[in-house]
Amino acid sequence: MNTRHVVVETHLGSITIVAEDETITGLYFRHHVRRPPHETFGPEAADSTDALLGEAVRQLRDYLAGERRQFDLPLAAEGDSFQHAVWDIVKSIQCGDTATYGRIARQLGDPGLAQKVGQAVGANPLCILVPCHRVVGAGGALTGYAGGLKRKRALLELEEPPARDAGRLF
């Protein structure tokens, strides 16, 4: 197993991207809720010599500059089957759109699962890449984000289509 990481300085703060072999396995803010211990990230790699991490950094920078709306990276998140079902739905939320925990629960076939959906969204180890910031509370309320609500708001504002400025997403 070849686990390594790179730290990217952004206007949202330091972001750590973790890779294992040929997949991206984590993306974490410095004070990320449920951030694994640093020693599990492996050695720091130079994004200029690691093709996968270099591409991840390039795509992240392009996204944060408003020049990219989706990512094209091999992802491998560690989680159980329910979490993966939730994360698959989260991946399908288009840039500029949002979904509620309740809507995702209904897509899974049980509206009573909204709280469990929230837990799965909160456990997403690939924030931004699996866009859990696009999941909001009922009525569009900004609720919970492992990177903090200020970052969630900033990401949603970054993605907000110009034509919809008057009818905000949140």
Task: Please say whether the dihedral angle defined by the alpha carbons of residues 148, 149, 150 and 156, taken in this order, is positive or negative.
Answer: positive
Per CATH, which fold does 81-164 belong to? Answer: Arc Repressor Mutant, subunit A (1.10.10)
What are the structural domain ranges in the chain? Answer: 3-64, 81-164
Q: Residue 13: beta bridge partners?
A: 10
Q: What are phi and psi of 14, to 5 degrees?
A: -70, 135
Residue 127 a catalytic site member = no
For 110-146, what is each residue's pLDDT tens digit? 999 999 999 999 999 999 999 999 999 988 888 888 8
* Active-site entry in 128, 132, 146, 156: 132
Answer left, alpha or beta for residue 29, where phi above 0 means left and psi between -120 and 50 means alpha. beta
For 5-51, what is each residue's pLDDT tens digit? 999 999 999 999 999 999 999 999 988 878 888 899 999 997 678 99
Tokens standing for residue 2: 């070849």
d(CA 87, CA 68) in angstroms, rounded, equals: 20
